[in-house]
Amino acid sequence: MVSLRHKLAHYYRREQAEQSSPDRRWLNGFMAAGFHSGLITLKELKLENLSSHREAHGRRMSEVEELYLERRLTKLCEQK
């Protein structure tokens, strides 16, 4: 079993190496499945993303990046 932190760190390292945003559909699906199955909360998802980003980039997310992340996670985790 691979942890969410591992997947997020891999994504952010890949994003940094490619200087672009790789396809994140698989990551979004993984996070949404974890949320909807009750394995992780929205707050924990945000913390995991912030931590993984800081680990991969050596800096905190900017305010704009953090707001975008919040909107993305909220959209992923809304009940349909």
Tens of pLDDT, residues 32-65: 888 888 888 999 999 999 999 998 889 999 999 9
Specify the amino acid at residue 7: K
User: What pTM does this model have?
Assistant: 0.80
**Maximum Cα–Cα distance for the chain, whole Å?**
36
Q: How far apart are CA 49 and CA 56, in angstroms?
A: 11
Give the CA distances from residue 22 to residues 11, 14, 19, in Å, rounded to whole numbers and listed in that order: 8, 7, 9
